[in-house]
Amino acid sequence: MKMKKILILLVIMILSLGLIGCAQEEVIQVNDANLEEALRDEIDKSDGDLYADDFKDLEDLYLGGDEISDISSLAKFNLKNLEKLNLSVNDIEDISPLTDSSLNNLKNLSLGDNKIEDISPLIDAHLKKLESLNLGMNKISDISPLADSDFENLDCLYLSSNEISDISSLAEANFEKLERLNLGKNKISDISPLADINFDNLYCLYLKDNNISSDHMDEYRYDIGDGNVRINVSYCGKDPEELD
């Protein structure tokens, strides 16, 4: 009887381990064909099934310029070690899938040159370690969600080439570590909110190609970061394409 119980327990343990193995080997179906192709290229896996843990050790994932429109499948993969994610130069409109992704260690996120209008999902994506965020060349007009962001480690923010006119919400955001802020090529005419921001570390503020009058600029330029910020320069220690 005792031996029978032991055998039963062994069978249960084996079955349990088998179920755990099956769960880890779950096959992931990618909704966007271009995304799937780009993902396969990144891990050099041209055929066969894709699994959630295929990307678990990846720190840098480049998915730029691949005509990707649907990124919902990214949330199915284990991206817990990812530090850099580049999704620039695609056709992405909806970034809400990022809120369901395991991106807690992400430091660099590039979403430039897409079709994004709503940036509010970024606030719920738990990106506390984020250091660089590129949202340039999109269709963004409302940046008020940034007021509720927890980007306490952000040092680079690129918002150029959008449709932004109101920047008052920046004064409510926690950008104490921000070093570079690119607001060029927008519809900004009033920069007074920038004078109310704690810019202790900011050394480069790009405002070129907006609707700011020279008199208005002269009125506030020395109030921004106590006058220690370089304003209206072409680029500041970064490649020019990063500021477009």
Q: For 140-175, write each residue's pLDDT tens digit.
A: 999 999 998 889 899 999 999 999 999 999 988 888
User: Does residue 3 fall inside a structural domain?
Assistant: no
**Domain with 183 in it: what CATH number?**
3.80.10.10
Number of separate domains in the chain: 1
User: Does residue 182 fall inside a structural domain?
Assistant: yes
| HSE, side-chain direction, 13 A CA sphere, residue 152 | 3
User: Does residue 130 fall inside a structural domain?
Assistant: yes
Q: pTM to 2 decimals?
A: 0.83
pLDDT value for 230: 64
User: Does residue 20 fall inside a structural domain?
Assistant: no
Provide the domain limits for residue 211. Answer: 56-243
What are the Cα distances from residue 213, in Å, to 167, 169, 217? 16, 21, 6
User: Does residue 206 fall inside a structural domain?
Assistant: yes
Structure tokens at 76: 């199915």
User: Does residue 125 fall inside a structural domain?
Assistant: yes
User: Does residue 142 fall inside a structural domain?
Assistant: yes
pLDDT value for 217: 80
Q: For 25-48, write each residue's pLDDT tens digit.
A: 789 999 999 999 999 999 999 999
User: Does residue 155 fall inside a structural domain?
Assistant: yes
